[in-house]
């Protein structure tokens, strides 16, 4: 059914639940697990007060921590995982990674770290559900929220 699972994470509570689901799916299906975090390139604020380099440094540290969490959680479950960090627009980078790696299923949290940013820029989960060529499993804090079979 699925030959690989990608869990996209931003370190939020919803993505931590998605990580657990992704690891369990990969273990049950006995398929490779991939973890991906994306450093957002669109700035949070457009003013002279915020140093863009400082923001990027903080976002990169958050992404690294999120991937370390994926790795340690997968290790505890004795599931091998390959992780990657990309920079760009999250849904675009996730979809590019899906294509580059031949991913068959994407698991993602329903909400990211910032409600304000989600309203302002649009939801990564929503964009993935609408644009992904493969199935997307959207997981909320309490479990599965929505799933979609990709356009075949």
pLDDT tens digits, 90-123: 999 999 999 999 999 999 988 655 544 444 333 8
Task: Output the CA torsion sign for 133, 40, 6, 148.
Answer: negative
Give domain limits for the chain.
5-148
Which pLDDT score, from 0 to 100, does residue 94 have?
A: 97
CATH superfamily of 5-148: HUPs (3.40.50.620)
Give the start-end residues of each E strand in 5-142: 5-8, 33-40, 81-88, 105-109, 136-140
Q: Which DSSP letter does residue 151 get?
A: P
Q: Is the pTM of this model over 0.75?
A: yes
Calpha distance 120→126 (Å, rounded) = 13
């Amino acid at each position: 059914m699925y030959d690989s699972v990608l869990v996209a994470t931003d370190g939020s509570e919803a993505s931590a639940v998605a990580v657990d689901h992704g690891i369990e799916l990969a273990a049950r299906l006995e398929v490779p697990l991939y973890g991906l975090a994306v450093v957002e390139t669109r700035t949070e604020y457009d003013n002279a007060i915020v140093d863009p380099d400082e923001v990027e440094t903080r976002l990169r540290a958050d992404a690294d921590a999120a991937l370390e969490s994926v790795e340690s959680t997968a290790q505890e479950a004795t599931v091998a995982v390959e992780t990657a960090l990309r920079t760009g627009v999250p849904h675009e980078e996730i979809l590019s990674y899906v294509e580059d790696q031949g991913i068959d299923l994407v698991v993602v949290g329903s909400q990211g770290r910032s409600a304000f940013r989600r309203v302002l820029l649009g939801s990564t989960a929503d964009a993935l559900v609408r644009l992904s060529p493969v199935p997307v499993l959207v997981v909320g804090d309490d479990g599965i929220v929505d799933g979609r079979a990709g356009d075949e």
